[in-house]
A and B are shown apart, each in its own frame.
Chain A
């Protein structure tokens, strides 16, 4: 009887062991296959609505609207030659982290491409200008006739300043963001505000 019981126990253990052995390799050889990813190029000018945050469409629209309006202003168009301007970095008065450097550079590039204005370097870039002039004149490595002489920089007649601000309202299901972007052109000599433009953008997210 004892032999019979022992044989049953051994048989059960063997069957269980066999079952267990069968599962182990399956688990250990299971390969994780990530979901396939698709990479494709898109139109950089297309409308982007991934989230309600300040996006590429807003940036491009603001830069475009502002520059076109400025270029059409009497101050620019009535100038005999392309006036010199400086562009200070746009101030971000929102609670959102917006890359205002990108916005400033976009506005400047668009204005430059029009050929209607010339840019003098702004206060932010002054240090690099000073460093370069010093390097050319004080390092003793350059020919005298080829160096950029100090004291010959051209001052800007106008300066452009700008800011972006928002009004955000939110309920459980709706979020409304109102962006207001301002750009001003100030005459450096007279201190007069010669031109101003604003662009408003409203974005609403609903669940």
Chain B
């Protein structure tokens, strides 16, 4: 075996190189499945998507999304609670097996959650073609 490859300097250099390469390869925190299936518009950071699940019931995909409104974060300087004045709306977007949207867009429905309140939002697909869904949430006021 060539002595060059077994020399301590080569081994250390190779290890450092590998370490640096792996460091460069590190990407930002990968999106979770819930994040991938959620589209946010406006300032909706206070509303957390806690859980998402779906089941085919009587031939139609039924989705359930659990959300919780934590309210706005307290003021950094004073620590005082800010009033929860944001109003949110939500809707489901139904997709077929190839990811194409099926049916026309749903109406935005008001999300009536006070601070620290959670709710299970249920949506039923309009046609049996729907194979998956996306949850959309927006701040409308």
Q: Interface on A for B, CB 8 Å cutoff?
A: 43, 45-47, 49, 57, 60-61, 64, 67-69, 71-74, 77, 110, 113-116
Chain A, interface SS category: helix
For the A-B complex, the count of residue pairs with Cβ-Cβ distances under 8 Å equals 56
Instruction: Check A69–B124 contact: CB distance below 8 A.
Output: yes
Q: Which B residues from 108 to 141 make CB contacts under 8 A with A?
A: 108-110, 123-128, 140-141
A residues near B105, Cβ cutoff 8 Å: 45
Q: Interface on B for A, CB 8 Å cutoff?
A: 57-60, 62, 87, 89, 91, 103-110, 123-128, 140-141
Instruction: Check A77–B110 contact: CB distance below 8 A.
Output: no
Instruction: Check A45–B106 contact: CB distance below 8 A.
Output: yes
Instruction: Check B60–A71 contact: CB distance below 8 A.
Output: yes
Contact of B126 among A45, A47, A71 (CB under 8 A): A71
Distance to closest chain A CB from B38 (angstroms): 18
A residues near B108, Cβ cutoff 8 Å: 43, 45-47, 57
Instruction: Check B127–A115 contact: CB distance below 8 A.
Output: yes
> Which of A49, A69, A74 has most B Cβ within 10 Å?
A49
In the assembly, what is the distance between CA of A108 and CA of B30, in Å? Answer: 44
Contact of B140 among A47, A71, A115 (CB under 8 A): A47
Instruction: Check A68–B126 contact: CB distance below 8 A.
Output: yes
Instruction: Check B62–A61 contact: CB distance below 8 A.
Output: no
In the assembly, what is the distance between CA of A190 and CA of B25, in Å? Answer: 69
B residues near A67, Cβ cutoff 8 Å: 126
Instruction: Check B59–A77 contact: CB distance below 8 A.
Output: yes
Distance to closest chain A CB from B11 (angstroms): 62
Known interface pairs A45-B108, A61-B109, A64-B107; A72-B126 also in contact (CB < 8 Å): no
Instruction: Check A77–B58 contact: CB distance below 8 A.
Output: yes
Instruction: Check B91–A45 contact: CB distance below 8 A.
Output: yes
Instruction: Check A74–B58 contact: CB distance below 8 A.
Output: yes
Known interface pairs A57-B110, A60-B107, A64-B107; A47-B89 also in contact (CB < 8 Å): yes
